Structure 1
């Protein structure tokens, strides 16, 4: 059903105050604000990457409390503080409209202040805005603001009438969809005269011998790669990116690319082709392919059985956290996973060395790579939520910051 794994709310409350101070040191005195009273409602959540390699921000209207008790001004500050660490990269936004009523509907003046407050980087890096179960109210608001909304922003807007239509863009299992929204969707579908066509074929997956994308295991790749545990696509991407021009590209790993380019590389790679990226022009494509490869592995590099252990680490003192991280990486991680991780992070250390140019510090790389390296099983009881993602990011940042003490050369 709804929000993230066990005890997600309390974790959100803890991180709501600390993340403000750490994510935006230049934010001034308000960065120390305690947002736990806003965070506990769970109106805003952030989940791992969509198929295009973008973070997904989820807003659920049904979780908005009564207007009489809710502090909209503070909620706006919380929105900015929560999104600030994610909007530096391309992102998508899913808005579940069902559950908005006259008691919790924010005033139009507040909606307008949101649009004005969210400066250019928020709008520029927002690549898709999915409005799920829209009503006339949404269309009315949109038409009202339309003269002030840029044409470019308007193109990013997609009305989604049924959850099944959203499945074409984002894996629904990945989203914390409120139960009342699911029920509403079932009611809407029951009123349809002709049922919606199911999206895409399902059934047993068939892999090619050279398959590297689409749910294969590291073991499968190794068995079909002359027992070399480092997948060919990782080598091809990293070799291409491992020179000054690419390493110094601002926003490396933060930009998304056209979906057709990603699908083309996947198809060619799965048919055994060696991928040759174009000099200079394919930097963001190669970066996206690394994230896509990690995300599509049958199990993440940090297998599912370690997910809870990683979540628990963010409660430890800094020195204890480094020791726990080292123990997990050196003593518990399967050998092949360790070798692939070492290959990847040794490259990421070169990216960090040039962070004055590319702006990819350990913290920023952790935000990008966190959910691709460590995530819960799709159908399991836990889901990626804002609080769990922050805990995973802390773990990955610890790993990258203490790389030379944790990873043995």
Structure 2
């Protein structure tokens, strides 16, 4: 990996792309520390110290914003509205036939879906910024804090804060697209990578500085290395289904007769099931904050669903991850569509008849692989939480399995793109 980066910096074109990407990531991190107008920055720092890191319910959003949520900065919402909008648009393909038709139209249809995703991102940013401001004023963002992080509760100040946070989300979306167009790698993924990686040093330092620090720090570091090795091994693994294309005559030329394969990853859903499961588990606790704190259901939720180490919380978390693995895989991979495309171009799986038998065989393979992938994903999501519980460490959010999975996955994909561009330029030099 390091040799790939060294060779990339020696290539002028790639060096410009890498420096441009790094500059955009620096701008993104700078916006995470700029306070939103109407927020008292000294009071925010006081509340962060008093509440020891804020509310775990908003930990996922704070993770994807690189800690900007608790700072109530311009980029407080981070990339989360765009992620949510992208997932919603993908899910709507199952419900709305128009979206599925646009998806099949190719580049023009994809551009239209991207436009819908942008509009939905702005709408979600307005909704989420209003929610964050309301929670911050009610003390839900910093439990136990004795000072007001938003001293002015006027309508004008609220509208200005909502406008600023929404504009920050739009700017993040634009920065991600700039990276995709002029830089290296997928822009949105790299911004998520930047947000999560920025939380790692602080979390590790807090573990080392706590009770029994160095020993716990070394154990956590060893577990992280093992989890990274597991993630790299599984993410690089794939089931290759062989496909043979029959020979056919077009005019006076013979086409086909080649052999290829369909690569199926063990974890086809990526980190989406963990995000879905975490978001759904956070909803009851978020609703309980707005209810009567003496009510029985509020106290039950606070005991059984809010704590990350509660047995019921962990059990529901695993079930939701497995469910969403199957659900999201079924949406993104359509065996009937793949079988029809193979039949259209004269392709077939050796030993399997084209058409319906091919679709049934693909469904059988996908269901078995998804079973292993869902267990792997649940294991990765829980292993760090279990380690933190055993070691009595409270900094579980930034170093969770989901964050490690995202960082490793984005890192592998970015290195692959750098190596492919290096290989392309190597061939150009050879041809000259």
Which band: TM-score by shorter chain?
under 0.3
Whose radius of gyration is greater, 1 or 2? Answer: 2
